[in-house]
Each structure stands twice: as C-alpha cells, then as structure tokens.
C-alpha cells in the first residue's frame, strides 16, 4: 500500500514542503514517483519518517539524523533505543512537574506560617528533574556530541540517570559555595571541579579547547543553561564560564 505525499503530510503533521526537503537532502526519498510527478510513500518510508520525527523531538539535527540512520542495522533495535530515550524524557518531565508542585506547596506553607521553605540539608530537592548540566539537553551547537549523549543515555537505567543528575547538581552547588567564598575561577579547587566536568565530556567525544571555551560561553549565552546555573546562585553562570576559560587556557592550549 502506498500513500501520496498529501496524505503522509496529513497523517504525520509534517508539511508537504518539509517532506520534499527531506527528499532533497536524501533523508527520506519516497518509495516511487508517479507519472504525474507526485511522491508516494510505503510502510518502510513511514517508519523512517517516524524515526526522523522522534530524533527531531529529541533535539538532533537533520545532518546528524542522516548519519544515525545511515549507521543503523536493525530498525527494531533503533526503535527500542528511541523508546528508551522517550521514556527517560517522560520520567524527567514527571520528576520536574513533581518538583515544581512540591515547591509551590512548600512556598505557600512558608508564606502562611513563616517557616523555612525547604530542608536546608536537602537543597538538591529543588532541582529534581531539571538536569542542570553543561552537556545535557542543549547541545544543538555540537550535534555529534548531542547524539553521543543521547546514545549513552539510552543505555542507562533510570537510577543511573538520576544518580548522574544528582552528582551534576552537587557539582554546581560546590562551585556556588566556592564562588560565595570568594574563590577565584582559576583557583585550584575550582579548576579541579572543571577538570571533572571536562573529563566527563571527553569520555563521550574528544573536545577541542575552542569547543570547550564555546561551551563555557554557552553557560551565559544559552538561555536554558544560564537559567539552570542562576537557579542555584546568581552569577554562577558567569563564574562557570570564567572557570572553563581559565581551564582551557592553562591546560588545553
């Protein structure tokens, strides 16, 4: 059975113009083209379109999607991998919704009776599900690294993902404490934290000094990253940027 491009556009929510573009960049050729010049798609093409749209929803660029699909051997295993990533993202959003709901409840109680809003011994509770990390969800400027992060995450269990989130949050809190204590960004204790971050990134893919500097700048320039840092402490995004700049200058050049 084959479906014309207009029907595929209706079913998928993707415009016919976008489908033609996918054909032009050799990402999704139609099954065949009729004598009238219309494109027709069969089941295999619909399955490929589904994978493209799933990867787009996960923030992967078209060029990187092309490389991922070209490297695939088994469609079923690829779909299992995509499913694991989507379930992980769903669970993250559930955790984030629960965090916001809990914070609303505690803030309402705090304003009502004047008691502290959160347990001072568990400040990480404020950041459950947020994934404040310098190499997490917003790596669209580095699509190959983003794809590698996605592939690694897809193989992790939920407890492993949560443990990683907690450790990254704890690292950001340690940096905030050093900043609050007046420690310069190029000081040894700060640079030790940045070294751990750099090693975590390069365990996935080699990163040049300039790429790492760009990641540091993104802590301030990328809205999502900046919000994650500033949620912990005002000025932390710029402090992280400066610490990465110092690290790249001293150790990577």
Read off the pTM. 0.47
Collapsing DSSP to helix, strand or coil, 33 comes out as strand
- Rounded CA gap, 183 and 187, in Å? 7
- Rounded CA gap, 182 and 179, in Å? 5
pLDDT for the residue numbered 103? 62
Q: Are 27 and 64 in contact (CB under 8 A)?
A: no
Question: CA-CA distances (angstroms) from residue 158 to 59, 83, 84, 153, 155?
Answer: 20, 13, 10, 9, 10
pLDDT for the residue numbered 154? 64
pLDDT for the residue numbered 21? 93
Domains of the chain listed by start with CATH number: 3-57 (1.10.1660.10), 75-251 (no CATH)
- Rounded CA gap, 168 and 185, in Å? 18
pLDDT for the residue numbered 135? 40
pLDDT for the residue numbered 28? 94
Mean pLDDT by 10 residues, the chain (253 residues): 92 91 93 92 90 80 81 70 73 67 68 60 49 45 60 67 72 87 94 93 84 88 78 87 96 88
């Amino acid at each position: 059975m084959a479906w014309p491009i207009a029907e595929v556009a209706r079913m998928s929510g993707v415009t016919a113009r976008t489908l033609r573009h996918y054909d032009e960049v050799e990402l999704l050729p139609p099954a065949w083209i009729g004598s009238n010049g219309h494109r027709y798609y069969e089941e295999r093409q619909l399955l490929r379109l589904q994978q493209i749209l799933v990867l787009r929803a996960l923030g992967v660029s078209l060029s990187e999607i092309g490389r991922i699909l070209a490297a695939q051997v088994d469609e079923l295993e690829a779909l299992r991998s995509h499913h694991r990533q989507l379930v992980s993202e769903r669970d993250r959003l559930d955790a984030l919704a629960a965090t916001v709901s809990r914070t609303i409840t505690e803030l309402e109680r705090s304003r009502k009776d004047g008691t502290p809003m959160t347990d001072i011994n568990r400040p990480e509770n404020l950041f459950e599900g947020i994934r404040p990390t310098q190499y997490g969800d917003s790596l669209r400027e580095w699509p190959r690294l983003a794809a590698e992060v996605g592939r690694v995450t897809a193989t992790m269990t939920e407890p492993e993902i949560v443990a990683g989130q907690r450790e990254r949050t704890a690292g950001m809190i340690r940096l905030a404490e050093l900043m609050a204590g007046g420690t310069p960004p190029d000081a040894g204790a700060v640079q030790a934290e940045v070294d751990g971050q750099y090693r975590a990134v390069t365990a996935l893919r080699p990163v040049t000094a300039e790429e790492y500097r760009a990641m540091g700048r993104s802590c301030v320039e990328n809205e999502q990253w900046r919000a994650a840092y500033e949620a912990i402490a005002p000025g932390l995004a710029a402090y992280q940027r400066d610490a990465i700049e110092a690290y790249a200058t001293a150790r990577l050049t």
